[in-house]
Amino acid sequence: MSGNAALGEAAVLAGCTCYFGYPITPQNELTEYMAKRMAEVPGGVFIQSESEIAAINMVLGASVAGARAMTSSSSPGISLKQEGISYLAADELPAVIADMVRGGPGMGNISPAQSDYLQATRGGGHGDYKTIVLAPASVQELADLVPVAFDLADEYRNPVIILGDGMLGQLMEPVSFDHIKPPAEFPKDYILNGAKGRPSRMIHSLLFDTKLEEEHNWKLYRKFQRIEQNEVRFETFMLEDAEMVVIAYGTSARIAKGAIKRLRQENLKVGLIRPITVWPFPTEIIQETANRVENFFVFEMSTGQLIEDVKLALGGKRHIHFYGRPGGVIPTPIELYRVTSRHYYQAVREKSQ
């Protein structure tokens, strides 16, 4: 099954009943899958919207009405959705948004890239807010994280982004959905469904009073702090004895793993920290590792975005090597093996001097 289709099936099993989308490569298989699948779901809604802006606002409407709703797109389309994502965050409404990142900026191309990292992890739209960002590295993990995304969105009443790329979306891999449980129940005491037998409700982000707006911003901030405390997810690989640690996420982490296996055959002690949530960022494990490891190696399919979070985590205390390939280029494990071993030997040389 392709990653895009697996994402769709996992969403359905996680209780998603509303999908709104606009075609853009490389995520079209998801929109097409949902067009077919939503017709089989009781109360299922599928709309091919007139634009990405309309799609995210339909998501907002469905979310306000109490449904589990999602949309998906790729980089240029995600830029258009940022307006709606900002409103979802301000209104404290749950939603899931999948971004199958492609090369950019501008039109760029349709090849896999990781150049939307900063857009995804820094809020992306206007105002003080964050989105939870999950970055799966395989089709199975993608399917596994979709129900997590919906639950996190409901629990924190905040938009959650699934940050993939063209590679993950198009990749065909075996995938199991057996372990996906029916969706958990979350209180829906905020939704708008007609004020029958209760006081009317209003949902708005306009707060003319600067004190109220400030209070609202701090309230959101405290929620984001709770998320940072409770929802960090990461994977480590051969970290225990590592002398150099690669930090990579999603597709690049997968490539890095291949490279590390080869490096290990040559007894080069390289390990991996793979953030699964890129926001909240797994700062602690990096800092713990830095107590005994001098050299870190950031690898990403961009000119350097993830590296900013690694620098913040390390606070200038350790040496950070970097290798990036932007523009939709997918490096091979062999290529990464060569680059990593070069940095490894350079680090060894510097240590002996």
Partner 1 sequence: MKQIYGRPKILKEAHFHYCPGCGHSIVNRLIAEVVEEMKLRDKIICVAPAGCGMLLYNYFDIDTLESAHGRGAAVSTGIKRVLTDSLVFSYQGDGDLAAIGTAEGFHAANRGELITVIFVNNGVYGMTGGQMAPTTILRQVTTTCPAGRNPDSAGHPVKICEVFSMLDGTSYLERVAVNKPAAVIQAKKAIAKAFQHQINKTGFSLVEILSPCPTNWKMDPIRSCKWIDEVMVKEFPLGVIKEVTC
Site for partner 1, rule CB under 8 A: 17-18, 20, 43, 45, 47, 49-51, 53-55, 57-67, 69, 83-84, 87, 91, 192-197, 199-206
CA angle 123, 88, 13 (to 5 degrees): 100
Please report how close the Cβ of residue 107 comes to partner 1 at its closest, in angstroms.
20
For the CB of residue 83, give the shortest distance to partner 1 in the complex, in Å: 6
> In this complex, which beta carbon is closest to partner 1, that of residue 54 or of residue 118?
54
Nearer to partner 1, 57 or 305 (CB): 57
- 211 alpha-carbon distance from chain centroid: 32
Spell out a b/e string for 139-148, using b for 16 or more CB atoms within 10 Å of the CB, else e. Answer: bbbbbbbbbb
Rounded to a whole number of angstroms, the minimum distance from the CB of residue 85 to partner 1 is: 11
Instruction: State the nearest-atom distance from the C-beta of 13 to partner 1, in Å.
Output: 19
How does DSSP classify residue 66? T
Least distance (Å) between residue 67 CB and partner 1: 5
In angstroms, the CA 149 to CA 97 distance is 9
Closest CA to 162 of 118, 119, 132, 125: 132
Element (H, E) at 95: strand 95-101
Q: Is 90 or 160 the residue whose CB approaches partner 1 more closely?
A: 90
Angle between helices 3-13 and 28-37 (to 10 degrees): 40
Instruction: Give least dist CB 43 to partner 1, A.
Output: 8
Q: How far is the CB of 72 from partner 1 (least distance, A)?
A: 15
Cβ proximity to partner 1, 53 vs 348, nearer residue: 53
> Is the Cβ of residue 215 or residue 266 nearer to partner 1 in the bound state?
215
Nearer to partner 1, 190 or 237 (CB): 190
Question: Cα 227 from chain centroid?
Answer: 14
SS3 144: helix
* Structural tokens at position 257: 């793993």
Amino acid at 285: I
- What's the CA gap between 229 and 231, in Å, rounded? 6
Distance of closest approach, residue 244 Cβ to partner 1, in angstroms: 47
| DSSP assigned state of 283 | H
Contact at 8 Å (CB) between 255 and 329? no
Closest CB to partner 1 among 210 and 265?
Answer: 210
Which residues lie closer than 8 Å to 348 by C-beta, 6 or more apart?
Answer: none
Q: In angstroms, what CA-CA distances link 286 with 34, 268, 283, 338?
A: 38, 20, 5, 24
CB of 93 to partner 1, least distance (A): 9
CB 132 within 8 A of CB 85: no
Closer residue to partner 1 (CB): 69 or 286: 69
Dihedral pair phi/psi, residue 182, rounded to 5° = -60, 150
Nearer Cβ to partner 1, position 38 or 272? Answer: 38
